[in-house]
Amino acid sequence: MKLAGEVAIVTGSGRGIGREIALMQAREGARVALLARTDAEIRAVAAEVEGEGGDARAYPVDITRSDHVAKLVGAIESELGPVSIVTNNAAAFQAIGPIWEVDPAAWWRDVEITVRGSFNVCRAVLPGMIARKRGCIINMAGGGTAGSFPYGSGYATGKAGILRFTESVSDSLAGSGVRMFAMDPGLVKTAMTDYQLASKAGQTYLPNVAGWFDEGIDVPPTLAARLSVEIASGRFDKLAGRMLMAARGDLDLTPEAIDEIIASDLRSLRVNGMPPERPGRRGTD
């Protein structure tokens, strides 16, 4: 088992991509802490894991509450052991449409769950990981990271912010033994996309979504789950701070392809035509 003896946190693990990541990491030997706001959902996933002979516990929490997250991480480490793997998967996408029409609170919530939630979890686990000189954190990027996402600006702002957050924090972890990555899971049919397909706002402002599914360009959530295991196992450590993409064949990346990504400074958030400014990054002044 690739993750035997590890303790993993997966946020947003009550359904969809997070559920599959939790199940896959448990199958690979990790003891998994399931975090989400809906207690019944994560308890059901914990029962699935235990039914397969794995070890998982449900911890209902609002990850945007830093005090709650810090207390919860302490409880997880008391019950399961030191946290060595984190997948920040929780996200929201409720504000669909022009910003002058959407509910401001919903727009901000889309950003907050992705960015503030990931920040809170990282802040809670990193001191312990750094002290132990080992750990792996995967932050979920996605739609809007690489380009404009009209009518989904809150979701896109959060996801693009996660890639910059990942690179910046990764650079600050240089030499610590802790690695941080971003991951794009690809287009996956989840409760989030079901909302886009069913809601009036989604049908009005995101009409292409239904066509994407009709064309079959979506991918199963198990691709992201498998990639999370490979990242956590150390296979992609040279790409720390960058984004891996489940739907683009990254499970089959060769060492030569990894070296080319680094040499060409790919899988990072950049402004076209401007060289990156990286104070404090390894290999720079």
Helix 16-27 / helix 39-51 crossing angle, nearest 10 deg: 30
Q: Does a structural domain hold residue 249?
A: yes
Going from the C-alpha of 184 to that of each of 124, 240, 249, 271, the distances in angstroms are 23, 14, 12, 19
**Domain harbouring 63, CATH code:** 3.40.50.720
pLDDT digits (tens, 9 = 90+) for 199-209: 999 899 988 88
Q: Does a structural domain hold residue 197?
A: no
pLDDT digits (tens, 9 = 90+) for 108-164: 999 999 999 999 999 999 999 999 999 999 999 988 898 889 999 999 999 999 999
Cα–Cα distance, 127 to 226 (Å, whole number): 27
Instruction: Tell me whether residue 155 is one of the annotated catalytic residues.
Output: yes
Q: Taking the chain, what is the end-to-end CA distance rounded to the nearest angstrom?
A: 41
Cα–Cα distance, 111 to 94 (Å, whole number): 10
**What pTM was estimated for this model as a whole?**
0.93
Confidence bin at 281 (pLDDT 50/70/90): low
| Torsion angles phi and psi, residue 189, rounded to 5 | -80, 115
Q: Does a structural domain hold residue 198?
A: no
Q: Does a structural domain hold residue 97?
A: yes
Of 59, 151, 155, 205, the active-site residue reads: 155
**64: domain range?**
7-188+221-263
Q: Does a structural domain hold residue 204?
A: no
The set of residues, in sequence order, having a beta carbon less than 8 Å from that of 187 and lying 6+ positions away, is 143, 193, 212, 213, 217, 218, 219, 247
Q: Which residues pair with 36 in a beta bridge?
A: 60
**Domain total of the chain:** 1
Confidence bin at 278 (pLDDT 50/70/90): low
Q: Does a structural domain hold residue 283?
A: no
pLDDT digits (tens, 9 = 90+) for 65-78: 999 999 999 999 99
pLDDT digits (tens, 9 = 90+) for 204-248: 998 888 888 888 888 999 999 999 999 999 999 999 999 999 998
Q: Does a structural domain hold residue 279?
A: no
Q: Does a structural domain hold residue 158?
A: yes
Mean pLDDT of 5-11: 98
What's the token pair of residue 207? Answer: 């009409």
Quick one: pLDDT at residue 283?
39
